[in-house]
Amino acid sequence: MRFNPAMTEPPLEPWMTSSRGPFLTLNAGGVLSGIVTITALPAQAAHLVVDAHWRTIHGEPRTASAASEGYNAARKLAHEWAGQLAAGREPTSRS
């Protein structure tokens, strides 16, 4: 499917949906050593999962996950979470 001006966002590319794991990884770093990924669920069209992984200041592993419809929303959330992790804050918001 090709993008046309009537669409609200472009369709996912085949390389996004055929990946065996995340097709996007953001290394947020910071004191929490955060990583945020976006993974496509190919059986569900534009359904994406945003995952965040980090360690608390005491070294305990933590995760957050959110489902998203469409790449633009998933990308926005991934960057938001990466920014929070880089600033030393655990991901808290879902916009």
Tell me the per-residue pLDDT of 19-36, one tens digit each, with 9 for 90 and over.
778 989 999 988 999 999
Cβ atoms of residues 66 and 49 within 8 Å: yes
The pLDDT of residue 35: 97
Domain map (residue ranges) of the chain: 14-86
Residues 68-81 have pLDDT tens digits of 888 899 999 999 99
pTM over 0.85: no
Question: Is the pLDDT at 38 greater than 50, yes or no?
Answer: yes
Q: Which residue has the tokens 């996007």?
A: 24
- Six token digits for residue 75: 């990308």
